[in-house]
Amino acid sequence: MSDFPARIDALRSRFSAWEIDALLVTSPTNRLWLSGFAGSAGSLLITGSHAILSTDSRYWEQAALQAPDFELFQDGRRPADLESFIQRAGSARIGVEANHMTLADGETLFALKGPSWKLLADAVEPLRAIKDPGELEKMQAAASITDSAMAQVPALVQTGISESELAWALEKHMREAGAEKLAFETIVAFGPHSARPHHRPGDRRLSPNEIVLVDMGAARYGYCSDMTRTFFFGTPDERFQTIFGAVLAAEQAAIEQLRPGYDSQAGHALAADVIAATGYGEYFGHGLGHGVGLDIHEAPFLSPTRTAVTLERGMTITIEPGIYLPGWGGVRIEDLGVLEHDGLRCISTSPKIPVIPLS
Ligand code: ZN
Ligand code: ZN
């Protein structure tokens, strides 16, 4: 039984609140989630009674196979084709995904005669945030592959290995363990580089008594995982121990207390308050976490700078506090979990033992 009709119905049930009769879906991820069609080009038009997928001839066969719940509109890439496609919605109020359309595409669309247009931010994303059991199984598979790669880190780390070499060894492991791709570019940061939350691995070679930060994720069946561990290669000094302890306590506070009904900004504060109490508050500059699914970063966002949302059962979120001291280094610990009725259940399970003895 396909999940897609239920997803389309859930979307349609919101049309009246959005004051639209139809929705044009141009985000590739939203298109995939609503239809199953994984091609690189195409858009959906969902009306009250029809669900239509438009794509070009490269994908007609694939579209019929992957999206049997949709009528296929064969886009011949002629200028009139877009108009014919949109006319399938009649003279309707059509919603467009304002976050997933270029100005040029918008200009072409809004020049068409007939429909009236309504810009919508985040129409499909809030629906995608809540995962069904099939999606959770796929995410668990992705998280398990990431766990198995993280388990390799202590054996791979040695004096002289470069960030790029370690990243490649981990990426290779994930692919061999069943990842179809990486969920995002692997972050491996040594020493002071770990103070940059999104450092790109480079030629820097590891010396004894340095931090090793690894943030990585596999993608499996289209779904992403995301996990960070911070290690110390050698004998950690007091500062590392203090900072690691503060980040771990912040992460645990959030994991233990978050549950459905929590406000996303209050969720951030659960960890931020623990870090602030240690005096390192100004060195935790990013949000506590984010949703993960078909996209590596998706709704909901647990951040003081993002619109607050109520956390709901079935959401998959990361918890990833960090403390970053420029010139010294940083510590981040990140786990991926699913909100169940009584709290957050982590689906990444790698141990948080930071010390890797010198080999
Ligand atoms: Zn991460
Ligand atoms: Zn993350």
Calculate how far, in angstroms, residue 342's C-alpha sits from the geometric centre of ligand 2: 23
Calculate how far, in angstroms, residue 217's C-alpha sits from the geometric centre of ligand 2: 9
Q: Which domain holds residue 261?
A: 133-356
In this prediction, residue 84 carries a pLDDT of 95
Q: Check which CATH number belongs to the domain holding 341 and give it.
A: 3.90.230.10
Find the ligand nearest to 185 CA: 1
pLDDT digits (tens, 9 = 90+) for 95-126: 999 999 999 999 999 999 889 999 999 999 99
Phi-psi region at 248: left, alpha or beta (left = phi > 0; alpha = psi -120 to 50)? alpha
Calculate how far, in angstroms, residue 13's C-alpha sits from the geometric centre of ligand 2: 31
In this prediction, residue 2 carries a pLDDT of 76
pLDDT digits (tens, 9 = 90+) for 118-146: 999 999 999 999 999 999 999 999 999 99
For residue 41, how many other CB atoms are within 10 A of its CB? 13
pLDDT digits (tens, 9 = 90+) for 265-281: 999 999 999 999 999 99
pTM here is 0.94
Calculate how far, in angstroms, residue 216's C-alpha sits from the geometric centre of ligand 1: 6
Calculate how far, in angstroms, residue 331's C-alpha sits from the geometric centre of ligand 2: 14
Find the ligand nearest to 316 CA: 2
Residue 70 has pLDDT above 60, yes or no: yes
Section 13-40 average pLDDT: 97
In this prediction, residue 313 carries a pLDDT of 98
Same domain, 112 and 161: no
Same domain, 213 and 294: yes
Same domain, 86 and 185: no
Calculate how far, in angstroms, residue 216's C-alpha sits from the geometric centre of ligand 2: 9
pLDDT digits (tens, 9 = 90+) for 188-198: 999 999 999 99
In this prediction, residue 333 carries a pLDDT of 98
Same domain, 333 and 299: yes
Calculate how far, in angstroms, residue 162's C-alpha sits from the geometric centre of ligand 2: 23
Same domain, 211 and 245: yes
Same domain, 43 and 112: yes
pLDDT band at 91 (very low <50, low <70, confident <90, very high): confident
Average pLDDT, the chain: 96
The residue from 72, 106, 128 where one domain ends is 128
The residue from 99, 128, 157 where one domain ends is 128
Same domain, 219 and 258: yes
Calculate how far, in angstroms, residue 41's C-alpha sits from the geometric centre of ligand 1: 28
Same domain, 92 and 204: no
Same domain, 8 and 75: yes
Q: Which residues contact 301 (CB under 8 A, 6 or more apart)?
A: 264, 287, 289, 290, 291, 309
Find the ligand nearest to 146 CA: 1
pLDDT band at 1 (very low <50, low <70, confident <90, very high): low
Same domain, 160 and 255: yes
327, with CB counted inside 10 A (0-12, 13-18, 19+), is exposed
Residue 23 has pLDDT above 80, yes or no: yes
Task: Say if strands 187-190 and 210-216 run parallel, antiparallel, or are unpaired.
Answer: antiparallel
H/E stretch holding 72 reads: strand 71-75
d(CA 52, CA 75): 12
Q: What's the count of helices (H) and strands (E) in the chain, helices before strands?
A: 12, 20
Calculate how far, in angstroms, residue 334's C-alpha sits from the geometric centre of ligand 2: 7
Tell me the CA distances in angstroms from 106 to 96, 292, 302, one per residue in order. Answer: 9, 28, 31
The residue from 128, 146, 171 where one domain ends is 128
Calculate how far, in angstroms, residue 147's C-alpha sits from the geometric centre of ligand 2: 15
Find the ligand nearest to 197 CA: 1
Rg (CA), the chain: 23
pLDDT digits (tens, 9 = 90+) for 304-327: 999 999 999 999 999 999 999 999
Q: Check which CATH number belongs to the domain holding 123 and give it.
A: 3.40.350.10
Calculate how far, in angstroms, residue 147's C-alpha sits from the geometric centre of ligand 1: 13
Same domain, 80 and 39: yes
Calculate how far, in angstroms, residue 254's C-alpha sits from the geometric centre of ligand 2: 15
Number of structural domains in the chain: 2
In this prediction, residue 79 carries a pLDDT of 82
Find the ligand nearest to 230 CA: 1
Calculate how far, in angstroms, residue 236's C-alpha sits from the geometric centre of ligand 2: 25
Calculate how far, in angstroms, residue 228's C-alpha sits from the geometric centre of ligand 2: 8
Same domain, 95 and 137: no
